Amino acid sequence: MAPQNPNSRTRRKPARSSAARTLARPAQMPTRTASPASPNAVIEFRGVSLRYDNGHAGLDQASFAIDRSDFVFMIGSTGSGKSTVMRLLIKELEPHEGTIRVAGRDLSSIPRRQVPFYRRNLGVVFQDFKLLPNRTVYDNVAYALQVTGHSRREIREKVPDILRLTGLSTKLHNYPDQLSGGEQQRVSIARAFVNHPPLLLADEPTGNLDPETSIDIMRLLYRINRTGTTVLVATHDHAMVDKMRRRVLEISRGRVVRDEAAGLYQRDESTREFATRMRATGERPEGV
């Protein structure tokens, strides 16, 4: 048999390389592989969309990044997509497209069996506290350490420290039904922060509280942020956002429509925007 021409083998190999090998791989979402992670981002959403079974768009091509040690208010009307962001971050939901990274890790790469371990590195505070009713303040906070495998010695050291930080050192033997709403929320925050997580998520943490108590809770969250923990707060609390003047992400109909470094709950209109609105509605400013 005549020997094959080596040049012919060389020519045939490239024909199977890039295009053929790409087609041979399983189909992947381009957005999950195309863009590198931002080096300083603790949270990163890139082109994230999610549509619920009823057709409602929870998110629609949402993109934003939150850096280490940021304190961010996420605002928007009911149904705008705030809770969807939170549920995606704790992997209660999965996006239909786009990339979500936390501390540089693509959340789509975390298998279901590892989700509980991932969540242990997050602090999560809810509007309705979610405390264990048959456990004392001390035991509610200690439970967060027990499930992560901390020793009794570590628990005895850490729990009193976090109760002092949150102003609960005189309430450690009380049960949740013996506490005010503000005190119960402090217990919830203490439990979320006792592991000193790099990221703390607070979903409407002052929704059930009076204005004075809300201020105390926000001060506590800000104090936690000053220790280096990144804090993301979803809220409807106009007064609190305006008072603290931190970064504001506004979501409307699943889209990020505003991102301001030191924003108010409602963005100030520029003179040009005001004039445009007046022309569009046919209104005349008072005194004109």
Question: In the numeric block, which tokens belong to residue 172?
Answer: 């450690």
Query: What share of the chain has pLDDT > 90, as a percent?
Result: 68
Overall domain count for the chain: 1
Nearest Cα residue to 206 out of 167, 240, 255: 240
pLDDT given for residue 282 in this prediction: 59
Is the residue at 108 inside a domain? yes
Is the residue at 54 inside a domain? yes
178: left (phi over 0), alpha (psi -120 to 50) or beta: alpha
Q: What are phi and psi of 76, to 5 degrees?
A: 155, 160
Is the residue at 90 inside a domain? yes
Residue ranges, the chain, pLDDT below 70: 1-37, 268-288
Question: In the numeric block, which tokens belong to residue 48?
Answer: 């994230």
Is the residue at 80 inside a domain? yes
Sequence letter at residue 206 = T
The Cα 202–Cα 224 span in angstroms is 12
Is beta strand 41-51 parallel, antiparallel or unpaired with respect to 199-203? Answer: unpaired
User: Is the separation of the CB atoms in 60 and 254 below 8 Å?
Assistant: yes
Question: In the numeric block, which tokens belong to residue 206?
Answer: 């002052």
The Cα 192–Cα 128 span in angstroms is 14
Rounded alpha-carbon distances, angstroms, from residue 108 to 114, 248, 264: 12, 27, 34
Query: What's the N-to-C CA distance of the chain in angstroms?
Result: 100
Nearest Cα residue to 73 out of 60, 63, 82: 82
Is the residue at 148 inside a domain? no
The DSSP secondary-structure symbol of 113 reads: G
H runs (alpha helix) in the chain = 6-15, 18-24, 82-89, 115-119, 137-146, 152-165, 181-193, 211-226, 238-244, 271-281
Question: In the numeric block, which tokens belong to residue 142?
Answer: 């200690």
The four Cα atoms 84, 88, 94, 100 give a dihedral, to 10 degrees, of 120
242's CB contacts (< 8 A; 6+ apart) are: 264, 265
Is the residue at 157 inside a domain? no
Is beta strand 247-252 parallel, antiparallel or unpaired with respect to 71-75? Answer: parallel
Is the residue at 249 inside a domain? yes
Structural domain of 261:
41-121+232-266
pLDDT given for residue 25 in this prediction: 35
Query: Taking the model in full, what pTM does it have?
Result: 0.79
Indicate which CATH number applies to the domain containing 52. Answer: 3.40.50.300
pLDDT given for residue 11 in this prediction: 45
Is the residue at 165 inside a domain? no
- Coil vs helix vs strand at 236: coil
